[in-house]
Chain A
Amino acid sequence: MLRVSVLGKRCLMPSLCIQKRLKSYIPIPTIPHIDSIKDNGIKGLYSEKGLNTVWYKKLEKNVISLEECIEESNNSDNLKSSFIDKHTNTNSSLSLDLTEINNPINKLYTLLNKTAKNVEDYAVFCFASQIYNDYFAISSVGPKRFVENSSSSSSFNINKPDENSIFESPSMDLSFQNEPIGQLETWITESFGSIVEFRTHLLNTNLAIKGNGYTWLVIQKRHQKRDSFPIYENLYIVNTYNSGTPNAKITEGQLFSVKHQIDDLKEKEKTKQDKIDQQEERERLLITNLPTLEEAKEQVHLENSFEYIPLLAINGSPSAYLPDYGVFGKKMYLNNLWDCIDWEIVSNRIPEDARKTTDTQ
């Protein structure tokens, strides 16, 4: 109920709030290589207008909403603290290294960590997660670097296809100009078989998303024992829907904690109603506190858990392709997106210790 009431308010707010200048304590995540070409759009993927709607306007709305949600939250001080820490040089984040503490996106990550298991802060989690996901998706792409011989260089193939494009025969190409490089390529061929298979799998997984969602390329990190070196295993393709997050570490135990919170609330109400049979109440509580089989499984899973580190995100939501490609343009959007993925940035996101482990192999 709480979620509905908070989100219901949101619908009215942004239109009023956009006019007032943003002076938020929330640092706005910046992507230097996109900001520099903001006026031309991303060549080969988004027009100037498209980029503006997909990234800048949406970001502004989300930040405003996030701020309001934090203000309304019961533990807003705690949530705010994740931004106030080390606030000194937010604008100097020139590199895309996500391990950098001062990068605004890392502050969002800490916020996600705080809110993921709390039902009351669900709205905060949603908006923070949306900003985080969008940031990831937009920062993974860059302007198209090569020009195909056949098509004219000026148009870059951004247009709105009509309904006949649904029935178009698939192209039979087996080689693509923009392909992953270096170590990432070997990782991908080890995990998926080949680049063609990877591409087909990645793009089809995204194409199938009907609502809002993202497709992620993640790397699996596993701790065998505590304090031991983490093991980096295969790459995986994962979908998240709405404002889900691929970081399993954040969401692990979510069900468990949410259920407990709901149980606690119910118990509080009950104890208010009748304090007579307290002894029986306690006994009952003892029984209900025993975890069910599923909860116990989740708990065990928590202890020797995997971590998924995102490398690449593709936004499959209609809002990502509607402005430039229209209703029938998702396929074209995805094909263009493949050409625009900046594989250097993606491979830079592989953790350093992972690079070492594969080097030794």
Chain B
Amino acid sequence: MKIQTNALNVLERTSHYLKSGLLKKQPLWYKVVAAYPPQKDLTRKVKRVNEVLKNASELEPSKKALYKTRIQPNRLKNKLYQSQKLKFLEDDLRKLFYEQHPWELADPKNLIENEKIMHKTLNWKTIRQLYVPLSGESVVQRTLYILENENLSLLNAYDKARFEYYRVKIEQESEENISKEESAMYGAVFDKSLVEFGFNKEQEIIEKWKQDAEAATQLLEARFSSRTTAAEEESGPQDKEDVFGLENIESFDDVAKS
């Protein structure tokens, strides 16, 4: 099908038709398209050679093909109708922090927590907050606060917030460990941790898989051996192959445990 030249003003045209009486009934899509108008202009335009070349140079070399020899129309981005890219300092800080401390991402986090953080009523005068648990986000917000209120450069403000974070983190971690020890001394018994629980669940499946796999391989081996014995009768004995690497399967548990 030929590309519709007037795709973008389909709504406009239809409303004209309705007014003029060409169409008597509103099409079903009419209101939907009115609410969500098409974003992309699919109109094909005549391009000058230079422009095409310029666009071609912008394209990244693909990993599959060695050279780009032609430009596909869907690769050409028309930025007219695209929303503007938003840039915030927070994003850079957040990215930097988690790049430097990847393991801080391992702390489980509730996504609702961020909504509270965005709340402007929070006062980041201190890195500790009543409703917001300590995370990389605290560093970001605290850095911004320091930047605004104390006469420090961005890097120094970030460093200050970071070191404050370290101190509080140390305090929290030792508190976790000690309170566990303390309550154990008073007779508390701890259940399995979430990680252990998950690990055991996984192990159950693996055990079952191992059994099934063994049964299946026995079956296959039996078939294979019946075939080979038939062949041996014709052409003498041959070395048996370990088709599925069954010799290694014993160590599977060890791998899973490690």
Cβ contact within 8 Å between B170 and A208: no
The answer to the question of B167 belonging to the interface, with a C-beta cut-off of 8 Å to chain A, is yes
The answer to the question of B168 belonging to the interface, with a C-beta cut-off of 8 Å to chain A, is yes
Q: Which residues of B contact A169 (CB under 8 A)?
A: 125-128, 164
Cβ contact within 8 Å between B182 and A210: yes
> B160-201: contact bitstring with A at CB < 8 Å (1 yes, 0 no)?
100110011011001101110110011000000000000000
Choose the segment among A125-133, A198-206, A264-272 that binds chain B (4+ C-beta atoms closer than 8 Å).
A198-206
One of A170, A204, A213 near B182 (C-beta < 8 A): A213
Number of A-B contacts (CB under 8 A): 52
Cβ contact within 8 Å between A168 and B126: yes
Cβ contact within 8 Å between A167 and B128: yes
One of A167, A200, A201 near B126 (C-beta < 8 A): A167
Q: For chain A, residues 233 to 270, give those with C-beta under 8 angstroms from any C-beta of chain B.
A: 239, 241, 244
The answer to the question of B129 belonging to the interface, with a C-beta cut-off of 8 Å to chain A, is yes
Q: Which residues of A contact B167 (CB under 8 A)?
A: 170, 172, 200
A167-B128, A167-B130, A170-B164 known; A207 vs B179 contact (CB < 8 Å): no
Interface of B: prevailing SS: helix
In this complex, how many residues of chain B approach chain A with their Cβ under 8 Å: the count is 22
Cβ contact within 8 Å between B182 and A166: no
Q: How far is the CA of A248 from the CA of B167 in the complex (A)?
A: 32
Q: How far is the CA of A136 from the CA of B177 in the complex (A)?
A: 25
Cβ contact within 8 Å between A166 and B128: yes
Residue of A nearest to B174 (CB): A204
Cβ contact within 8 Å between B171 and A170: yes
A211-B182, A241-B182 known; A200 vs B170 contact (CB < 8 Å): yes
Cβ contact within 8 Å between A204 and B126: no
Cβ contact within 8 Å between B168 and A170: yes
Q: Which residues of A contact B126 (CB under 8 A)?
A: 167-169
Cβ contact within 8 Å between B129 and A167: yes
Cβ contact within 8 Å between B168 and A208: no
Cβ contact within 8 Å between A244 and B127: no
Q: Which residues of A contact B125 (CB under 8 A)?
A: 169
Q: How far is the CA of A200 from the CA of B174 in the complex (A)?
A: 10
Cβ contact within 8 Å between A209 and B178: yes
Tell me which of A169, A172, A239, A241 has the highest count of chain B C-beta atoms within 10 A of its own C-beta. Answer: A169
Q: How far is the CA of A207 from the CA of B178 in the complex (A)?
A: 9
Q: How far is the CA of A176 from the CA of B99 in the complex (A)?
A: 32
Q: How far is the CA of A169 from the CA of B143 in the complex (A)?
A: 13
Q: How far is the CA of A244 from the CA of B186 in the complex (A)?
A: 11
In the assembled complex, how far is the CB of residue B227 from the closest CB belonging to chain A, in whole angstroms?
52
- Lowest 5 A-B CB distances belong to which pairs? A208-B178, A170-B167, A208-B175, A204-B174, A167-B128
Question: What are 19 A-B interface contacts by the 8 Å CB criterion?
Answer: A167-B128, A168-B128, A169-B125, A169-B127, A170-B167, A172-B167, A200-B167, A204-B170, A207-B174, A208-B174, A208-B175, A208-B177, A208-B178, A208-B182, A210-B179, A210-B182, A211-B186, A239-B178, A239-B182
- Other than A170-B168, A208-B174, give 6 A-B pairs with Cβ distance below 8 A: A166-B128, A172-B163, A200-B167, A200-B170, A207-B171, A210-B182
